[in-house]
Chains A and B, each alone.
Chain A
Amino acid sequence: MDINEKIIDDFVQGRLPAEEMQYIAAMAEKDAELAMAIEDARIAMLVANELVAEDIRTLTEDWKNQENFSQPNKSISQNLQ
């Protein structure tokens, strides 16, 4: 089996059949270069997922601001008090 970058990415995301997952995990124990490539992909995924989370935060902050903006009367009356 040729373990290329696409396969490593799929492995890191758990998108391979169980048998192939086990095979690559076993190979990584013997092959330091493969183990390092897997570590690098896992770290990239960790950082990428934080950026995905940040996109969700931005999206929801926008919606929250729109909600606040769509209720101006409430804030105006509160301000007048």
Chain B
Amino acid sequence: MQDAEIVEKLRSGSISARNQAFHYLYHSERLRNKIRSILSPWGVEHEQLHELIQYAMIVLDRKIREADFTLTSSVETYFCSIVKNKYLYERQDSLKKRKIMEISEATEVETAETPFADLDDEKVKTLLWSIVEKMNERCKALLPRWALGTNGDELCREFGFSTPEQAKKETYRCRQKLKEYVNDTPGLKTSLLNLLK
């Protein structure tokens, strides 16, 4: 698959087109070999390779959907950069944590809260999922379609709406419920806005 096609499919908002692009990226042996070669100084296990590819797909997708994003290299090169940066970040993070544990063991200092862990991916995910869990299944399915800009006809086929207008109205209701929950939960909006800074 050519780069332009990957970009077009990811930006299309069509779930089937996007899945084709993801399928290509996930199963490309050439891409996996390139990643293995880049990470060869440290070595990478099968499970870790899967996690890195999964992470890179999420980041690539998000970047490509940003209106002001311009791809200045090939998709493969960009993808491999995401993988390498994530791998090295995690490696460095785990070394840092090990170092802190060694220091704390030696000095008996409390280490549960470390400054670099504040914006840890898992913490962000936990915060966002505390909101997602309050949503009904229909809204959990509709909201990402709104973010992707999936067109009304596809929404009608997928969700059984009789008109695109109905899809819009239901998405709007989901967003209203989300807004009410965020505004009614003390401190939640501030935490979310801090993530956006």
Contacts and interface: CB of A to CB of B under 8 A. Distances in A.
Given A49-B147, A52-B61, A63-B27, 10 more contacts: A39-B189, A43-B196, A44-B146, A45-B147, A49-B144, A52-B62, A56-B22, A60-B22, A60-B50, A64-B50
Given A44-B143, A52-B148, A14 B66 contact: yes
Interface string B180-197: 001000000100110110
Contacts of A13: 65-67
Task: Classify the secondary structure of A's interface with B.
Answer: helix
A50 interface: yes
B178 A47 contact: yes
A44 to B, nearest CB: 5
Nearest to B66: A14
A64 B189 CA distance: 36
B196 A52 contact: no
B53 A44 contact: no
Contacts of A39: 189, 193
Contacts of B193: 39, 42-43
A39 to B, nearest CB: 6
Contacts, number: 84
Nearest to B148: A52
A46 B140 contact: no
| Residue with the highest number of chain A CB atoms closer than 10 Å, among B54, B146, B195 | B54
Interface residues of A, number: 27
B62 A49 contact: yes
A59 B19 contact: yes
Interface stretch (B35-43, B81-89, B128-136, B153-161): B128-136
Given A60-B50, A64-B50, A43 B182 contact: yes
A45 B140 CA distance: 13
A75 B131 CA distance: 39
B47 to A, nearest CB: 9
